[in-house]
Amino acid sequence: MSSSRISRIFPFIFSVPILITAITTAFAQENQKSDIPKSKWQQTLQFFEEGKYQEALAASNDAVKEMPDSSEVHYLRAQICLMKSDWDQALASAEKSLSLNPMNRDAIVVIAYAYSGKRDFARAIPALEKAISMGAPTPDLYYELVAICLSMKNYEKAIEMGKKTVELWPDDSSAYYLLGRVYVESQKAAEAIPILTRSIELNNKFFPAQEYLGLAYLNKGDLKKAKATFQNLLQKDPNNSLAKEKLALIKKKTFPFCW
């Protein structure tokens, strides 16, 4: 299993609701100002919330022309570009938003995600760390930071941040899963097993944690528990290709180290 799978699980899934909330809050604040082009702003926000990103982008271009000095208008456009995977435009709009309001933490978050999308992790990490330092911690930022460190195979920092995430959110299944995944991919199966087990205890329908628990047992050489874990996973998720693949390997007694 490729380490890039992490990018399909964590980035944006957790962050988008938070960013939409930030936009909606900003809209309520800006809406109190008589000089804001409400119709363009409202139209852009509506398209964005409906997932109509092309229409939202067109509307945001008009809003930017009418309000070039509004940090929130540029921020909204940055978020739209982010959702379209237009990393360069997302960066440009977020940096403009930040120049107009240096305390706009959400613009820094967009910058971090855009750098992550470009796989420019050296710039994404300090942006995330800056965003984390500017306000109350949120799990999505820690997820992204751990995921980036994992992609870079910086296991020491990934474990450090993973432990911090679990410490901050001890009842979060995803936090335990991500730390457990780091342990598996860094060949620390023994450490991974109790962490992944806890993730499943908190959410027994979170299948990625069960996948990695099976991999941890497999890498530890405990074929009996690996087989039981994958069989249990198939009962809940009959089309799980990873479980089918690993059960076939166990049957053939061909099981190289894997994750």
Nearest-angstrom CA–CA distance, 230 and 228: 6
pTM of the predicted model over 0.85? no
pLDDT in the model for residue 17: 37
The answer to whether domain 1-152 and domain 154-259 are alike in fold is yes
pLDDT tens figures, 84-109: 999 999 999 999 999 999 999 999 99
- pLDDT at residue 258, rounded to an integer: 53
Q: What tens digit of pLDDT does each residue of 8-31 get? A: 334 433 344 345 444 444 444 544
Secondary structure element (H or E) that encloses residue 247, with its range = helix 241-252
Q: What is the rounded distance in angstroms from the CA atom of residue 137 to the CA atom of residue 142?
A: 8
Q: How far apart are CA 227 and CA 221, in angstroms?
A: 11
Residue 254: per-residue pLDDT: 62
* Residue 185, both tokens: 């991919």
Tell me the pLDDT tens digit for each residue of 119-145. Answer: 999 999 999 999 999 988 899 999 999
Tell me the HSE value of 181 on the side-chain side, using a 13 A CA sphere. 34
| Sequence spans of domains, the chain | 1-152, 154-259
- Specify the 3-state DSSP secondary structure of 253: coil
Q: Please determine, looking at this structure, whether the domain spanning 154-259 carries the CATH number 1.25.40.10.
A: yes
* Residue pLDDT, tens place only, 150-171: 999 999 999 999 999 999 999 9
- Which CATH number is correct for 1-152, 1.25.40.10, 3.30.70.270, 1.20.58.220, 3.90.1720.10? 1.25.40.10
Helices (H), 152-221: 155-168, 173-185, 189-202, 207-220
Tell me the C-alpha to C-alpha distance, in Å, between residue 255 and each of 85, 138, 240: 37, 38, 18
